[in-house]
Structure 1
Amino acid sequence: MVSQTPPILVVGTGAMASLFAARFSASGLSVRMLGTWVESIETLNKFGVRFIDEDGQESAYPVEATDDPEKCVGSQFAIILVKSYQTQGVALRLAKCLADDGLALTLQNGLDNHRTLAEVLGEQRVASGVTTAGASLIEPGIVRTGGKGVISLGNHKKLKTLVNLLMRAGFEVETVEGTDSLIWGKLVINAAINPLTALLKVPNGDLLEIPPARKMMNLVTIETADVASALEISLPFSDPVSAVESVALRTASNYSSMYKDVSRGSQTEIDAINGAIVRIGETASASVDFNRMLWLLVKAMTMKSSA
């Protein structure tokens, strides 16, 4: 039986949004999904979210998907799981439907998502976190889990109820004093792995097997960690190189989201990852040469493919 808890709003209809929507719906919650991808919205409304678990078993869970924020008015909780370049548009849409005392939680990659949302919605209605959960979109409305992972959230007075809902949906959740360390920790990993896999067209683990690629990955890791240090941000690991290589090994057969974006000719998050490191690093007078190189190469590759 579906719970009497007000519907939870998942913003996005891609892989991660579908993963969260499926788990919430499976736990008995009413789920709304707000997106712009027409084909996905139509499929979700017709068939629900089709979720493939770790054992390859497929189950379908009902959701209500829409591209109209007016149909989501009064939403108490919105979880934002879209690409970073979509954040400004999402903020404007949420301004039409998030309750005055509601909360928008961003679990996105990259920097500046919290600031962008807070500028429109107000700081009191925005919370941030990171997640190590993974998912792959097989086709619109069909998602395969990549492992449950952990959701790490910063402290916010409105988060308690949402944390309980996330745990009810089977997510492992932890709260921390501040999210800067976690966001930069994930940024170090994404900046070192994602663009290289996109440029070389290889799964994550191949970066460890190709000596020049491994060297470049490590150089980017060290450079990004140095930018964080220049900003007086402590990373959540003491050895950045080991941390990044551990992720590459643990996800050896996975293809990064940036690889997938490049493969289908979609816009990437390179500006919010390596591009953001370049911009912020320059203001801190830190070296950003390796990040700039990857940023420009991925930009050039995507411009060529869209020409």
Structure 2
Amino acid sequence: MKIAIIGTGAMGCLFAAHLYDAADVVMVGNWPEQLAAIQQNGLSLEGVNGRFTHHPIRATNNPHDAAPVDLAIVLTKSWQTTQTAQLVHKVLAPDGVALTLQNGLGNLEKLTAVLGPTHATLGTTSAGANIVKPGHVRFAGHGVTHIATTNATAHIIKPLVEILNQKGLETHISNEVDSLIWGKLVINAGINPLTALLRVPNGFLAENPITRAIMAAAAKEVEAVAHKLGIQLPYPDAAKRTLAVAQATAPNRSSMLQDVLRGAPTEIEAICGEVVKNGRLANTPTPINQQLLKLVQSISDSPMTIAELQQIMKI
């Protein structure tokens, strides 16, 4: 199988490294320093146990150098998806499939608008990774990946799931698309904004009573909106699940925190912004998510304190 990883950030590197030995893998992105490091020295993956593995993966900023591929795994930021869809269109083989593992809502719709509904599917992953420096990624926490499939995508997705499980990334097939994406949205809304505002790893949120309370409240709001929309989450308790993920990925710096630390745009609109928007449509209040949205949109160069956050959130 020929696979293009679209995006050269931490998660793109994590999946590329795990797939390298089992498929023909090429990374496609536009981060100059990362591309140069991988092209010159390959990709180094630092495991959870501290052990390093080296992967001489191909990397390019030209989609034509990667085409045609059987599978494109999309791991760019959600605000880049419209542009990314055009890139994916250039790299996919005629019977190829695009798989989005991105955060937030709306990514699959943007891909299918360009590729057609039979050439795209979605998944979620709670695995964590951090960029240490260009060409060096650290596996920050084991998680579970769920991928939706249909008759049109099964010829690609089923072999992919087998490969990922063989390579140590626990992966399952699911046909509950809405459940998958809203289940991940709960986690993103509960964890990512707080880590970005406070500049802390995931585990801090589980240890502090104030952040635990805010994290739970944000998760419960997403759960309430999903319930009102008739969407059943893939777990019985949103707050407990979010806490469990924060604990399981304790050393991890969320993608939103990494964005803030390097001065890049965040995905807050695709996460809390979508919760607020859907809450209005469902006539369900989402004050915690609305406040997190505003705070991240106007984030400062200095981290907030717990006291400041508690005063604003009134928790």
TM-score, normalised with respect to structure 1: 0.91
Secondary structure of 2:141's partner?
A: coil
CA contact (8 A) 2:72 2:99 kept: yes
- Match among 104, 111, 116 for residue 110 of structure 1: 104
1:194 deviates by 1.2
**Equivalents in 1 of 2:302, 2:250: separation in Å?**
28
Describe the shift of the 1:246–1:171 C-alpha distance in structure 2 as closer, same or farther (beyond 3 A).
closer
- Which residue of the partner structure matches residue 160 of structure 1? 158
**Equivalents in 2 of 1:101, 1:302: separation in Å?**
46
Please tell me whether residue 10 in structure 1 is matched to residue 5 in structure 2. Answer: yes
Secondary structure of 2:130's partner?
A: strand
1:59 deviates by 2.2
**Equivalents in 1 of 2:244, 2:83: separation in Å?**
35
**Equivalents in 2 of 1:24, 1:253: separation in Å?**
24
**Equivalents in 2 of 1:70, 1:252: separation in Å?**
39
1:99 deviates by 1.2
Please tell me whether residue 45 in structure 1 is matched to residue 39 in structure 2. Answer: yes
- Match among 125, 128, 133 for residue 122 of structure 2: 128
**Equivalents in 1 of 2:47, 2:251: separation in Å?**
17
Q: Residue type of the partner of 1:293?
A: Q
Secondary structure of 1:128's partner?
A: strand
Q: Which runs of 4+ in 1 moved over 4 A?
A: 302-305
Residue range with higher mean Cα deviation, 57-66 or 163-172 = 163-172
- Which residue of the partner structure matches residue 204 of structure 1? 202
Q: Residue type of the partner of 1:14?
A: G
- Which residue of the partner structure matches residue 306 of structure 2? none
**Equivalents in 2 of 1:178, 1:96: separation in Å?**
29
**Equivalents in 2 of 1:239, 1:167: separation in Å?**
26
Unaligned runs of 5+ in 2: 304-315
1:242-253 alignment runs, 5 A limit: 242-253=240-251
1:155 deviates by 2.2
Describe the shift of the 1:168–1:209 C-alpha distance in structure 2 as closer, same or farther (beyond 3 A).
closer
RMSD: 1.9
**CA deviation profile, 1:211-262 (whole Å, cap 9, x unmatched):** 3332222221211111111111011121222222222233333322212211
1:48 deviates by 1.1
Describe the shift of the 1:268–1:42 C-alpha distance in structure 2 as closer, same or farther (beyond 3 A).
same
Q: Residue type of the partner of 1:258?
A: M
**Equivalents in 2 of 1:269, 1:257: separation in Å?**
9
Unaligned runs of 5+ in 1: none
- Which residue of the partner structure matches residue 24 of structure 1? 19
1:24 deviates by 1.3
- Which residue of the partner structure matches residue 225 of structure 2? 227
**Equivalents in 1 of 2:247, 2:126: separation in Å?**
15
1:36 deviates by 0.7
Q: Residue type of the partner of 2:38?
A: L
Secondary structure of 1:171's partner?
A: coil
1:57 deviates by 2.0
Identity %: 42
How many residue pairs match? The answer is 299
**Equivalents in 1 of 2:17, 2:246: separation in Å?**
27
- Which residue of the partner structure matches residue 288 of structure 1? 286
Q: Residue type of the partner of 2:3?
A: I
**Equivalents in 1 of 2:208, 2:127: separation in Å?**
27
Describe the shift of the 1:301–1:92 C-alpha distance in structure 2 as closer, same or farther (beyond 3 A).
same
- Which residue of the partner structure matches residue 78 of structure 1? 72
- Which residue of the partner structure matches residue 145 of structure 1? 139
1:170 deviates by 3.2
Describe the shift of the 1:21–1:208 C-alpha distance in structure 2 as closer, same or farther (beyond 3 A).
closer
- Which residue of the partner structure matches residue 217 of structure 1? 215
Describe the shift of the 1:185–1:28 C-alpha distance in structure 2 as closer, same or farther (beyond 3 A).
closer
CA contact (8 A) 1:10 1:79 kept: yes
Describe the shift of the 1:302–1:280 C-alpha distance in structure 2 as closer, same or farther (beyond 3 A).
farther
**CA deviation profile, 1:144-186 (whole Å, cap 9, x unmatched):** 1123422211122332233233334332221112121121111
1:272 deviates by 0.7
